[in-house]
């Protein structure tokens, strides 16, 4: 008798006796199957999260979610005004907040949480006794909000999840997602072995001592009553949340989540309200197959794509008629840097919350806020990606010039590459190697020198990453490497380009082909025209004299080159290495 089934492992691997505990996901074999028959097992992919999502979406909790109709229907239930829970409050169940770059999303969320904490204490109010679940797709995003609460003097929360992946400052307020005390201790001890940062090591030792003294049991009891719980969307699938109810779910970075993952926290929490924050004009969720067409043919494919996993819940709810509240002021970028993304991607709706004086040059006005460097060179295919050695050489020279000026430190500079291969180009790796050597030579003692070799030590230094990995980050100076010398849909993608152009606070140095990128996207055309119209903002060569008064091989664009660029307007898109999450 032949039987083929699908199962999931309940253990990380076989035990010492070679046994493995599994759970069948398909019907078991019939009675004719021998109990002692040999079974051949083929290892498949890790789909634990996907299985967890399917179970949550198909559970009775999903069907009984108080705001179910608001989430899957076109607005509130027929015949009812949009309100929180049918209690006549007039408050919508779902609130969408569009937070563009540098608009203070984290500050807003901290303020909102503090308001909700006060509202839950108002006897007879619509939020009396309400509990709040804070969720996001990444540990960094959850930690950022909870650390904001700590800075505001509020510690009435629990951070649930993997203790190795959360900020060490939150450990006194943490609860390991596993129900086993030994698992939490083991994870902390592994983290202690791997961490060399002095402050983190001390925090880990103190947390280990607290758990050994019984803090874990006290926190488990606290989980049933604490006003605020923070976790990732994946952690919301774990047993730690069983039986818990939270009237409000606050979902950060919602536009970067596939919809099943975005729905999971609210379903598990049985929430009556949801506040979803995101920016659909930046990078969407990363999926292997954006859509599953229901019919054959290119027309069917095009129609199916907007309704695939690549469309986040934020966008669907907006299209369904839910009001979107735009945070209009950006407080990150110099006005000259924000102007083009604002015009090209946000329809000019954003206002600058900082002045040019507040984002003044770090180089005594020797470097403009926006500079374009065209080093020449050609793009090369590399393992399905793209690199440009000439650009890598130019970036080494540019960063060396900036650092040697004494006006900036490594931690103020970020290098963003559109392609993963460019991050790993030999020249780029050499740049980081020089950086590490400098750290080691400057370290006053052995412990600091050791910390420089760890991810954390370099993370505080010069950051090199792809656009996808740099989302939600910012630096005073951003050097942007495009690599492409031909018009590229990947480089010209509006959402990716929006992220790339909005990471810099004071200086944006774009390194790329003026001729190729000028035809890739309107934003590049606008940038090129802006740099061409200014003095010392458009350079050619791999060793440009960026800082006024410096000597370099590269020159500011001569009049003839400027005229050639004018024609483009006639055509109207780790060490510290972080892997790109998307193709490219």
DSSP state of 558: P
- Domain map of the chain by residue range? 67-156+227-326, 335-570
With cut-offs at 50, 70 and 90, classify the pLDDT of residue 426: very low
Q: What is the pTM of this model?
A: 0.82
Summarize pLDDT for 141-175 with one digit per residue, the tens: 999 999 999 999 999 999 999 888 899 999 999 99
Q: HSE, CB side, 13 Å, CA atoms: give it for residue 406.
A: 0
* pLDDT number for residue 121: 92
Query: Which residue did the predictor score with more confidence, 302 or 9?
Result: 9
Indicate the average pLDDT of the chain.
Answer: 82
Please name which of 336, 327, 341 lies closest in space to residue 358, comparing C-alpha atoms: 336
Given a contact cutoff of 8 angstroms between Cβ atoms, the answer to whether 378 and 485 are in contact is yes
Q: What percent of the chain has pLDDT over 70?
A: 79
Binned at pLDDT 50, 70 and 90, residue 431 comes out as: low
Q: Residue 463: its pLDDT value, please? A: 85
Residue 254 confidence (pLDDT) above 70: yes
The answer to whether 285 and 312 are in contact (CB under 8 A) is yes
> How far from chain centre, in Å, is Cα 469?
7
Q: What is the DSSP string of 29-81?
A: P-TTS-TT-----------HHHHHHHHHHTSHHHHT-TTHHHHHSSSSPTTS-
User: Which residue in 398, 384, 342 sits closest to 543, CA to CA?
Assistant: 398
Helix, strand and coil in the chain, % to nearest 5: 40, 15, 45
Measured between alpha carbons, how far is 162 from 175 in angstroms, rounded to an integer?
8
Neighbours of 278 (CB within 10 A): 27
Q: Within 10 Å of residue 519's Cβ, how many Cβ atoms? A: 16
Does 8 score more than 90 pLDDT?
no
Poorest-pLDDT segment among 19-23, 75-79, 87-91, 225-229? 75-79
Instruction: State which fold the 67-156+227-326 domain adopts.
Output: Rossmann fold (3.40.50)
Residues 335-570: name the CATH superfamily: P-loop containing nucleotide triphosphate hydrolases (3.40.50.300)
Looking at residue 368, what is its pLDDT?
Answer: 94
Q: How confident is the model at residue 518 (pLDDT cuts 50, 70, 90)?
A: confident
User: pLDDT tier at 340 (50, 70, 90 boundaries)?
Assistant: very high
Fold match between domain 67-156+227-326 and domain 335-570: yes
Lowest-pLDDT range of 3-17, 65-79, 134-148, 450-464 = 450-464
């Amino acid at each position: 008798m032949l039987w083929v089934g699908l199962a999931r492992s309940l253990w990380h691997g076989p035990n010492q006796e070679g046994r493995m505990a599994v759970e069948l996901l398909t019907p078991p074999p019939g009675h004719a199957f021998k109990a002692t028959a040999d079974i051949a097992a083929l290892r498949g992919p890790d789909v634990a999260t996907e299985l967890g999502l399917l179970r949550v979406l198909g559970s009775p909790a999903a069907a009984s979610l108080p705001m179910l109709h608001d989430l899957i229907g076109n607005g509130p239930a027929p015949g009812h005004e949009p309100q929180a829970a049918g209690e006549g409050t007039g408050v919508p169940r779902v609130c969408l907040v569009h937070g563009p770059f540098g608009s203070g999303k984290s500050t807003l969320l901290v303020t909102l949480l503090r308001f909700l904490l006060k509202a839950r204490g108002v006897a007879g109010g619509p939020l009396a006794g309400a509990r709040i679940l804070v969720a996001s797709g990444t540990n960094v995003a959850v930690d950022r909000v909870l650390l904001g609460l700590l800075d505001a003097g509020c510690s009435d929360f629990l951070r649930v999840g993997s203790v190795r992946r959360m900020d060490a400052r939150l450990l006194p307020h943490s609860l390991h997602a596993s129900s086993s005390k030994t698992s939490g201790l083991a994870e902390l001890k592994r983290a202690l072995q791997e961490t060399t940062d002095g402050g983190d090591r001390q925090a880990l030792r103190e947390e280990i001592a607290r758990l050994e003294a019984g803090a874990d049991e006290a926190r488990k009891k606290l989980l049933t009553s604490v006003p605020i719980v923070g976790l990732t969307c994946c952690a919301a699938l774990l047993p730690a949340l069983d039986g818990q109810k939270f009237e409000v779910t606050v979902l950060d970075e919602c536009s970067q989540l596939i919809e099943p993952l975005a729905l999971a926290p609210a379903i598990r929490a049985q929430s009556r309200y949801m506040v979803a924050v995101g920016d659909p004009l930046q990078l969407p969720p990363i999926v292997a197959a954006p859509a599953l067409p229901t019919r054959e043919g290119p027309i069917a494919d095009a129609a199916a794509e907007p309704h695939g996993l690549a469309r986040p819940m934020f966008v669907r709810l907006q299209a369904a008629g839910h009001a979107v509240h735009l945070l209009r002021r950006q407080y990150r970028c110099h006005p000259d840097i924000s102007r083009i993304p604002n015009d090209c991607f946000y329809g000019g709706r954003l206002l600058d919350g900082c002045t040019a004086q507040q984002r003044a040059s770090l180089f005594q006005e020797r470097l403009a806020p926006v500079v374009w460097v065209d080093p020449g060179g050609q793009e090369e295919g590399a393992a399905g990606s793209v690199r440009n050695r000439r650009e890598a050489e130019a970036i080494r020279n540019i960063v060396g010039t900036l650092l040697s000026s004494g006006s900036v430190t490594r931690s103020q500079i970020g290098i963003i590459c559109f392609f993963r291969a460019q991050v790993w180009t030999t020249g780029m790796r050499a740049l980081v190697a020089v950086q590490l050597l400098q750290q080691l030579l400057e370290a006053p003692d052995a412990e600091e020198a050791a910390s420089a070799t760890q991810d954390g030590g370099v993370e505080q230094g010069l950051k090199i990453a792809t656009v996808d990995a740099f989302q939600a980050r910012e630096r005073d100076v951003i050097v942007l490497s495009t690599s492409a010398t031909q018009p590229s849909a990947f480089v010209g993608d509006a959402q990716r380009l929006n992220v790339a152009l909005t990471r810099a606070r004071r200086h944006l140095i774009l390194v790329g082909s003026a001729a190729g990128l000028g035809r890739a996207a309107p934003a590049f055309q606008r940038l090129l025209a802006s740099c061409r119209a200014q003095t010392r903002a458009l350079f050619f060569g791999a060793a440009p004299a960026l800082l006024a008064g410096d000597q370099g091989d590269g020159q500011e664009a001569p009049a003839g080159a400027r005229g050639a660029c004018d024609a483009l307007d006639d055509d109207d898109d780790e060490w510290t290495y972080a892997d790109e999450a998307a193709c490219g």
